[in-house]
Amino acid sequence: MRILVVHNRYRSSGPSGENTAVDDTVELLRAAGATVHTAMISSDDIARRTRLGLVGTAARVTWSPSGSRFLAAAIANSRPDVIHVHNTFPLLSNSILWAARRDRVPVVHTLHNFRSLCANGLLLRNGRPCTDCVGRSGVAGAVHGCYRDSAAATTPIVAANIIHRGLRTMQSCVDRFIAPSDFLKNMYVRAGWSASRFVVTRNACSDPGLGEGPRDGIVCVSRLAAEKGVHDLIEAWAGTVPAGGAQLTILGDGPERPRLERLARSCHNVRFTGLASGDTVAEHLASAIALVVPSRCYEVAPRVVAEAYAAGTPVIAPRMGGLAELVADGRTGLSTKPHSASSLACAIKQMIASTDAARALGAGARAFYEAEFSPATTVANLMAIYKTAIEHRPEHARRQPRTATSLARPAVTRRNGQEPT
């Protein structure tokens, strides 16, 4: 099978679980014997643009002629049996889906966030979960400036959603949607999308193997922003762990870091490392008693949970959003009451108190990884979805058989920021 993977990469200045999941997907499919081509563009390009160029970027959010040409060229070069689209924001836009439809190539689209329902993609406003725009026009998002706290930056996204809703882009151009969690699927269904076109399957996560050494301390891997709830974790830690007790290591950076470091002065054994490489994160997860994900916002399916489970490390997380289905209380970790430092403190105390209990939860976490996230499971699920998208496409919408000329055409795809040639 020939697969074209399409993705607008997020900026390299900050870690992106979505970028990593896409990269893992490509490598796992290739390792399984599929012919995989990529058509990727990076949002790093935006930083190099002039002010006039930035105005053009805002317009491309709604409809991107260059993105459509880019995809059309990639299709012509790779002649795929199926296209797997990931992120299209902001440089490709959903207009590229019409280019795929014109070429009659089946499309599978993984929805990693809520961008088509919510301007900031997070269902978040003022640091709190918000569903005001779900199933509605989304104009409230522009009024509140929900993307980057700017009405000017939010308006093009809202306009894009309204336009593509009117054009029925998703209904007309996408054959199957992949949701990384039931929570995400259910939110889109609530907004009026057809449940029958969704398949829930987890994002790819390569297997680093179980952490087999001694375990000590608690780890948090997070962007340091208010909605991530790290302040709840520090408050919980302050009243739970005495001097000489377990170590809390916080990996990540963000606007809240100075405030969080001030809060942590009243705690024992708290260490901030700043941004960390994937290998460093893996090392910390493999040697920790548990990972804490204290988020106050709706998470879809945080990659770090899959990485922890792969290492046999249990997770402490609130019962909300996608975390509620990923963390099975008493089997793969411990669930806490959302927005509650006291509930979090109880879970941390329980996890630290019994090494045997934590080890048993870690075994359950690894079993969950093997069933839901392992390379074999991921590849099998994706290949089945691709096959269904190809076979269920209406006859009139199917691509014509390839000619000898088209089969002989070299397949050249964009790599490292270079356009197809």
Quote the tokens at residue 58: 């805002």
Residues 381 and 396 in one domain: yes
CA 271 → CA 145, 230, 274, distances in Å? 34, 13, 9
In a domain, 292, yes or no: yes
**What pLDDT, on a 0 to 100 scale, did the predictor assign at position 201?**
96
In a domain, 122, yes or no: no
Selection from 316, 315, 309, 305 nearest residue 343 by Cα? 316
Residues 267 and 346 in one domain: yes
In a domain, 18, yes or no: yes
Least confident of 224-228, 342-346, 380-384, 399-403: 399-403
In a domain, 31, yes or no: yes
Residues 52 and 98 in one domain: yes
Q: Which domain holds residue 264?
A: 218-372
How many domains, in total, are found in the chain?
2
Phi and psi at residue 2, in whole multiples of 5°? -105, 120
**pLDDT tier for residue 236 given thresholds of 50, 70 and 90:** very high
In a domain, 131, yes or no: no
Residues 363 and 378 in one domain: no
In a domain, 125, yes or no: no
Residues 242 and 341 in one domain: yes
Residues 227 and 88 in one domain: no
**What pLDDT, on a 0 to 100 scale, did the predictor assign at position 392?**
83
Residues 185 and 64 in one domain: yes
Residues 350 and 230 in one domain: yes
**pLDDT tier for residue 398 given thresholds of 50, 70 and 90:** low
Task: Say if residue 321's pLDDT is above 70.
Answer: yes
Phi and psi at residue 159, in whole multiples of 5°? -60, -40
**Do 144 and 133 touch, CB atoms closer than 8 A?**
no
Residues 100 and 229 in one domain: no
CATH number at residue 7: 3.40.50.2000
Task: Say if residue 409's pLDDT is above 90.
Answer: no
Q: Tell whether pTM > 0.85.
A: yes
Residues 247 and 344 in one domain: yes
Residues 366 and 247 in one domain: yes
